Amino acid sequence: MSKGKYYFSKSLEKGLKILSLFNRENPVMTQSQIARKLDLNMTSTYRYINTLVELGYLEKSATTKEIRPAILCLLFCANLMRATDHLRMIKEVVDRIHSENNISIDVAFAMDDTLVRIYYRGAEETLTYSLPDFSKNSLHNTALGKAYLSSLPDDRIADKIESLDLKPKTPNTILDKAILVEEIKKSKERKFAMSREEYLPGLITISAPLFDPLTAKGVGAVCFDFSLLQHSAADVKAKYKDMIRETAEELSQLLPPDRTRRR
């Protein structure tokens, strides 16, 4: 037996395999589903799941017993992303565009109804606002969220929006799901989305979706942020629609590919 095999942890392997089961197609699972996918008995599966719940990486519903990744798991993934060369290259692109145009830029991944910011660069001597590192329930009221929604297949857009809780952030927040579906479809056609004071008064944003370079599945978005005191929505759209699409295409090629599934 090699030294590497001797020090191999089967328990750690099982725990990591459980975490890797969760993705955009399977954001929520049950214990029996996890046991079946990994060919584990229910006792062992319960032990691994309970450990991950106690550590804060998974959360388990007390009523439905459904299991999903917790916020700590998102933070863990974001921190790993920050430690890779992928993020360094993303920063280089964002910093270059920022220095050439002096605009605020947000890059975020999406999971369920939460946006996880992986990098932000604020414009100098201007009025802007950036999202927190984790922004829950913000797919409907931010350009980042709407751009991500537009990356979904046509047959999933309405279903995804139906599952959202459209809480208002400002008087401009879209609360009608049918109207939101139409806006997302329009954003899909033009390959960018906009938010006009829907998340915060005075904030105008334009965003384009990010796609996994291997599977072409939507994973998040990049956004340019502006103050209404200095820019109009019409000016932002006219001046930056091509730039935001080109930026999204460039950043998508720098993302770590999901090699666990192919088209």
Burial class (CB in 10 A: 0-12, 13-18, 19+), 19: middle
Which of left, alpha, beta for 137 (phi over 0: left; psi -120 to 50: alpha)?
A: left
Which one-letter amino acid corresponds to residue 200?
L
Confidence at residue 141, expressed as pLDDT on a 0 to 100 scale: 94
Mean pLDDT of 66-90: 80
Q: How far apart are CA 211 and CA 200, in angstroms?
A: 27
Which of the residue ranges 57-66, 70-79, 196-205, 245-254 would you say has the lowest mean pLDDT? 70-79
pLDDT at 162 over 50: yes
Q: What is the pLDDT of residues 195-241, one digit of tens each?
A: 999 999 999 999 999 999 888 899 999 999 998 888 899 999 999 99
Q: What is the pLDDT of residues 19-60, one digit of tens each?
A: 988 876 788 999 999 999 999 999 999 999 999 999 999 999
Where along the chain do its domains lie? 3-69, 74-252
Confidence at residue 262, expressed as pLDDT on a 0 to 100 scale: 45
Q: Are 107 and 222 in contact (CB under 8 A)?
A: yes
Confidence at residue 221, expressed as pLDDT on a 0 to 100 scale: 97
pLDDT band at 263 (very low <50, low <70, confident <90, very high): very low
Is pTM, for the whole model, over 0.75? no
Residue written as token pair 């220095």? 99
Q: How far apart are CA 103 and CA 147, in angstroms?
A: 19
Q: Are 225 and 205 in contact (CB under 8 A)?
A: yes
pLDDT at 1 over 50: no
Confidence at residue 237, expressed as pLDDT on a 0 to 100 scale: 96
Highest mean pLDDT (candidates 48-62, 63-77, 129-143, 248-262): 48-62
Q: Are 147 and 207 in contact (CB under 8 A)?
A: yes
Pick among 3.40.718.10, 3.30.230.10, 3.40.50.1000, 3.30.450.40: CATH of 74-252: 3.30.450.40
Residue written as token pair 């599977």? 215
> Who's near 236: CB < 8 A, 6+ residues apart?
194, 204, 206, 224, 226
Mean pLDDT of 246-262: 80
Q: What is the CATH number of domain 3-69?
A: 1.10.10.10
pLDDT band at 124 (very low <50, low <70, confident <90, very high): confident
pLDDT at 261 over 70: no
